[in-house]
């Protein structure tokens, strides 16, 4: 494939420094550890999002059933439901 403006002799003359094999392996180990950590964190936050959605549904269900009401700018349990709890 030809790229306009890039001369083959220029590319051949480029010095590309490649780390020794042990350094490359260290980088791979580091990156693998980071990927694993990211995966654990992602799973943790996905579960937190699920928990928040469940909490939202629970609160809305209580609001619409009359179990949860607003009194003097505070969210409180309806006394009729509190007696049965």
Q: Give the distance from CA 66 to its chain's centroid.
A: 35
Higher pLDDT, 5 or 49: 49
pTM value is 0.56
Residue 85 CA to residue 83 CA, distance in Å, equals 6
- Residue 43: per-residue pLDDT: 98
Q: Provide mean pLDDT across the span 65-72.
A: 77
pLDDT tens digit string along 16-63?
999 999 999 999 999 999 999 999 999 999 999 999 999 999 999 988
């Amino acid at each position: 494939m030809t790229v306009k403006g890039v001369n083959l002799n220029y590319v051949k003359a480029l010095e590309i420094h490649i780390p020794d094999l042990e350094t490359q392996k260290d980088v791979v180990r580091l990156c693998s550890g980071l990927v694993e950590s990211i995966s654990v964190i992602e799973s943790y936050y996905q579960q937190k999002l699920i928990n928040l959605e469940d909490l939202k549904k629970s609160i809305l269900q209580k609001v619409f059933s009359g179990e949860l009401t607003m009194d003097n700018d505070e969210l409180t349990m309806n006394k009729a439901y509190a007696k049965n709890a």
